[in-house]
Amino acid sequence: MFDTDGTLVTEFGREGQGPGEFMRIYSIAWVGETLLTLDFGNGRIGELSADGEWVGQRPAPGRVSGSASMLRFYPVSDDLVIQWSLRSEDGRSQRLWIEHGPDGVVGEWPQERFDPPDDRGVVCNDPSGVIGFYGHPADPKMYRHPTTEGREYISWSASYRVALVGAEGDTLRVIEREQAPVPVSDSVWEAGLGELATFRENYPDASCNPRGFERPAVGPALRNLLVDAAGRLWVEDITPNGIRWEIFGADGRLVGSLPAIDYDDDIAPSIRGDLLAWRSTDELGVHYAHLARIVVPTN
């Protein structure tokens, strides 16, 4: 734990299966003054105090693998986060959204199925039971971010079009903007191959469908969707002049924009209050945590 000037305050946890121990943390999030840790390795969500003391746990699926940018907590307010989850019954899997508050699970509902027009993602299954979901950043993909009242933002990133979908699957609002296509650079293509390659190295007996990625001529129009605790939608769009964030109010109107940040694709940036945090990795593999203050002009 660090304070806002970067000073190390404390550290806690170690590898293991006991209280306060972790095997494979995919996401952390605050609900009130409780810190939740999504530990797919142990198949549980740890509950810790603001001082790092272990205070309890909640169930979560185990032996799930994939990008932590999707398989994570989605904060929607200071007291609520929504967890990506998976339930298997009679050999069939169902993806769920599970809503957590400070005192436990508030509710759950099935994720609506939205078939992408051209799904190029890779799904890998290992005989040991490990499942991996992978996508290449140069391919269009389905971005989803749940929000309050069972609603979620949905976008197929081939174009700048984001829909707010209600709990019954009806479209409540659409945000759409013109966007010129951007070619896929060699550096972007090569960088996006590493995560799937690592999975294959760790699980050589796994079968993947399809076996790999096919390089497209042009890249997606969008890179990410986020929702902050104030209900604002953050859309990261890719333009010929670079990448930027555009922020829309809860009513769907554009309220501002910010220049892009250089963050690791496998961990979503975090927005809490007026602070924006993210992780980056340099060419030597060293990780950096960044913290920025969001300033809203008064005029």
Q: Taking a C-beta distance cutoff of 8 angstroms, is the pair 83, 73 a contact?
A: yes
In a domain, 104, yes or no: yes
Mean pLDDT across the chain = 91
User: Is residue 117 in some structural domain?
Assistant: no
Beta carbons of 229 and 78 less than 8 angstroms apart: yes
* 54-85 residue pLDDT tens: 999 999 998 888 888 889 999 999 999 999 99
96, pLDDT greater than 90:
yes
- From residue 43, alpha-carbon distances to 97, 125, 237, 293 in Å are 16, 18, 35, 35
In a domain, 88, yes or no: yes
Residue 34 counted as domain residue: yes
Mean pLDDT score, 43-53 = 94
Q: Is residue 214 in some structural domain?
A: no
Residue 248 reports pLDDT greater than 80? yes
Asked if pLDDT for residue 297 goes beyond 80, the answer is no
Rounded to two decimals, what is the model's pTM? 0.84
Whether 105 shows a pLDDT value over 90: the answer reads yes
For residue 193, is it within any domain? no
Count the domains in the chain: 1
Is 17 within a domain? yes
Could you please report the per-residue DSSP string of the chain? -B-TTS-B-----EESSSTTEES-EEEEEEETTEEEEEETTTTEEEEE-TTS-EEEEEE---SEEE-TTTSSEEEEETTEEEEEEEEEETTEEEEEEEEEETTEEEEEEEPPP---TT---EEEE-TTS-EEEE--TTS--EEEEE-GGG-EEEEETTSSEEEEE-TTS-EEEEEE------BPPHHHHHHTTHHHHHHHHH-TT-EEESSS----SB--SEEEEEE-TTS-EEEEEEETTEEEEEEE-TTS-EEEEEE-----TTS--EEETTEEEEEEE-TT--EEEEEEE------
Q: Report how far residue 229's alpha carbon sits from residue 232's, in angstroms, rounded to the nearest whole number.
A: 7
Q: Which domain holds residue 35?
A: 1-111
- Whether 207 is in a domain gets the answer no
Q: In this predicted model, what pLDDT tens digit does every residue of 192-205 receive, in sequence order?
A: 898 899 999 999 99
Question: Judging by beta carbons within 10 Å of its beta carbon (0-12, 13-18, 19+), is residue 281 exposed, middle or buried?
Answer: middle
